[in-house]
């Protein structure tokens, strides 16, 4: 799944925050949901997680998964694979090479986790396991 637009513009698979559930279902008619409460539903997709509150898309998230290949096509056209083995250092080099602005989000970083946020607000979370490795990438509207 191509995610460069997610890192640069905050769109994932044609979806963007603020879309209505009906609009999302036009693009993904087979999407199913887990109802968390009367106002909140979370998609049950293996490609990404979409959270709706009052039928408005407020969270897009991908978790690194050994089965699904996430890639971001670089400025030179080379694909950059993202998976559980993507280190923090390798990810930051990728962002710098592609002139993507980023910062460490100290509000989301803890002793064994580091959050790196790109300009549209997309946050990559790295967890410590003998080094910092990619766990998930998310964009939140709350």
Q: Which two tokens stand for residue 92?
A: 């930051």
Query: Could you tell me how many residues make up the chain?
Result: 142
pLDDT of 24: 92
Q: Which two tokens stand for residue 52?
A: 């709706």
User: What distance in Å separates the CA atoms of residue 142 and residue 135, rounded to the nearest whole number?
Assistant: 20
Per-residue pLDDT of the chain (142 residues; tens, 9 = 90+): 788 888 888 898 889 999 999 999 999 888 888 888 878 888 877 778 899 999 999 999 988 776 667 888 877 777 888 888 899 999 999 999 888 999 998 877 777 899 999 987 899 999 998 889 999 999 987 6
Burial class (CB in 10 A: 0-12, 13-18, 19+), 109: middle
């Amino acid at each position: 799944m191509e995610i460069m637009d997610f890192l640069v513009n905050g769109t994932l698979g044609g979806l963007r925050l603020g879309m209505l559930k009906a609009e999302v279902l036009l693009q993904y008619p087979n999407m199913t949901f887990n109802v968390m409460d009367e106002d909140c539903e979370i998609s049950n997709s293996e490609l990404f997680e979409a959270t709706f509150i009052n039928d408005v898309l407020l969270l897009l998230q991908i978790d690194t998964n050994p089965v699904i290949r996430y890639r971001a096509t670089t400025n030179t056209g080379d694909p950059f694979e993202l998976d559980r083995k993507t280190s923090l250092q390798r990810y930051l080099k990728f962002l710098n090479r592609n002139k993507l602005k980023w910062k460490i989000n100290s509000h989301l970083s803890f002793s064994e986790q580091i959050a790196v946020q790109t300009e549209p607000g997309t946050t990559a979370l790295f967890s410590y396991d003998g080094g910092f490795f990619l766990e998930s990438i998310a964009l939140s509207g709350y």
